[in-house]
């Protein structure tokens, strides 16, 4: 098997794995999914496709709502009976997604939906959930409510990163021993935490499925 064949097999394996994910996990690896094809492509209910980019340059992810054969004019953006955009509320506000690091952390002023409410980030490089630190409840018109997360901001406690009892990464042989979201491992001298469920890949084979934890 040559490199191109091996790469194609890996791509297909990743897409098969990605097809089984829920919305939150799918958003984390949106770039893995295939681009929408408007040239008479047969789509099945539940499939994922990416189409266009958001303001930050990230791929917009859509889920197919019903079986159909695509047409150039039925784009995911306009054919709302055929596709549902993932990761946004009904009014288009992006839903909060756990950042995996500084590269996708929220900036000051970013607005998200979280547990049915809108929040605005009050800090840059915000990797915290809206009910933990660094956010205010946002109301329409650009104002913020009196419900403030951490009204007397203090330096947030760093999540526990004790690595004394973390075991070395062992390659899973199937779904029965794959790593769950939140599992920590040692790999090549570093500590990583899985950011997805059913993670059967090493941190080097699929970096998007892991985040490095500083010891």
Q: Is there a single domain that holds both residue 21 and residue 68?
A: yes
pLDDT (tens digit per residue) in 35-60: 999 999 999 998 889 998 876 677 88
Question: Do 77 and 145 share a domain, yes or no?
Answer: no
Residues 193 and 123 in one domain: no
Is the same domain home to 140 and 94?
Answer: yes
Same domain, 146 and 202: no
Q: Degrees (nearest 5) of the Cα angle 72, 77, 80?
A: 95
Give 95-154 pLDDT, tens digit per residue: 888 887 777 788 899 888 888 889 999 998 888 889 888 899 998 765 555 455 554 455
Same domain, 79 and 10: yes
Question: Are residues 130 and 113 in contact, defined by beta-carbon separation less than 8 angstroms?
Answer: no
Q: Of 137, 157, 177, at which residue does a domain stop?
A: 157
* 77 plus 21 within the same structural domain: yes
pLDDT digits (tens, 9 = 90+) for 66-84: 999 999 999 998 998 999 8
pTM of the model: 0.44
pLDDT at 136: 93
Give how far Cα 35 sits from Cα of 15, 57, 63, 75, Å. 12, 15, 12, 11
Same domain, 212 and 193: yes
Domain boundary residue, one of 141, 157, 173: 157
For the chain, how many structural domains are there in total? 3
Domain match, 134 and 148 both: yes
Quick one: DSSP state of residue 90? T
Judge whether residue 90 has pLDDT over 70.
Answer: no
Q: Which of 67, 85, 103 is the last residue of a domain?
A: 85
In this structure, what are the phi and psi dihedrals at residue 27, rounded to the nearest 5 degrees?
A: -60, -35
Say yes or no: 69 and 30 in one domain.
yes
Looking at residue 61, which CATH number applies to its domain? 2.10.10
Range(s) of the domain holding residue 174: 159-215
Q: Which residues pair with 135 in a beta bridge?
A: 121
User: Which CATH number goes with the domain that contains 100?
Assistant: 2.10.10.20
């Amino acid at each position: 098997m040559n490199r191109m064949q091996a790469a194609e097999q890996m791509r297909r394996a990743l897409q098969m794995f990605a097809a089984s994910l829920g919305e939150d996990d799918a958003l984390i690896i949106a770039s893995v999914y295939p681009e929408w094809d408007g040239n008479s492509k047969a789509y099945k209910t539940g499939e994922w496709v990416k189409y266009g980019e958001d303001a930050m340059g990230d791929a917009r992810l859509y889920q197919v709502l019903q079986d159909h054969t695509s047409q150039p004019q039925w784009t995911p953006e306009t054919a709302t009976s055929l596709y549902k955009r993932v990761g946004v509320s009904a009014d288009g506000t992006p839903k909060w997604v756990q950042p995996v690091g500084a590269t996708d952390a929220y900036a000051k002023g970013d607005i998200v939906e979280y547990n049915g409410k809108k929040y605005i980030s009050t800090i840059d490089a915000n990797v915290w959930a809206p009910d933990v630190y660094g956010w205010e409840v946002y109301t329409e018109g650009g104002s913020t409510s009196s419900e403030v997360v951490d009204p007397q901001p203090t330096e947030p406690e760093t999540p526990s990163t004790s690595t004394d009892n973390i075991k070395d990464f062992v390659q899973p042989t199937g779904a029965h021993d794959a790593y769950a979201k939140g599992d920590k491992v040692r790999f090549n001298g570093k500590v990583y935490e899985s950011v997805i469920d059913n993670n059967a890949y090493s941190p080097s084979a699929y970096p998007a499925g892991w985040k490095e934890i500083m010891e």
